[in-house]
Amino acid sequence: MNEVRLYVDTFEGFVKDTLRMAEKLDAGDRTVEPASFGFAKAEMLFALLTPKRWELLRALRASGRSSIRALAKALGRDYRGVHADVTALIHAGLIERDDNRLIRVPWSKITAEMDVEAAA
C-alpha cells in the first residue's frame, strides 16, 4: 500500500521528528516509513484539501491515469478550475504527472491527522 500522512504540528514537533529520523539513520536503521507532509497550521491543510479537491483525488484514484481535460469532464467541472486544483495537488505531492503529461494519484491511502494543541 502506498500511503501518505498529512499532519499538523508545531515547529518544535517537526524538529523533534527530524532529529528522531536522523538518529535512526545514524544508527543504520533504513526502515521505510510512509511519506509524510507537515503543515504549520490546520488552516493550511484545510486550504489544500478542500471538498472539491478531495472529490478530485478520489475520482482520479478510481479512474487511474488521466488528462486534466478528461478529469474535468468526468467531474462535470470547468477545465480551468480543475487545472488549478491539480496544480496545487501536484505541488503538494498528492498527484504526479508522467512523461505523457497524464496525471495520477500514487497513494492508495491518504491519512490526515492533527493534534488539537498543535492545530490551534
Number of domains in the chain: 1
pTM score: 0.80
Say which CATH number the domain at 74 has.
1.10.10.10
* Per-residue pLDDT reduced to its tens digit, 63-95: 999 999 999 999 999 999 999 999 999 999 999
Domain that holds residue 55: 3-119
Residue type at 57 in one-letter notation: L
If one counts every other C-beta atom within 10 angstroms of the C-beta of residue 22, the result is 10
State the pLDDT at residue 120: 57
Nearest to 103 by CA among 67, 61, 70: 67
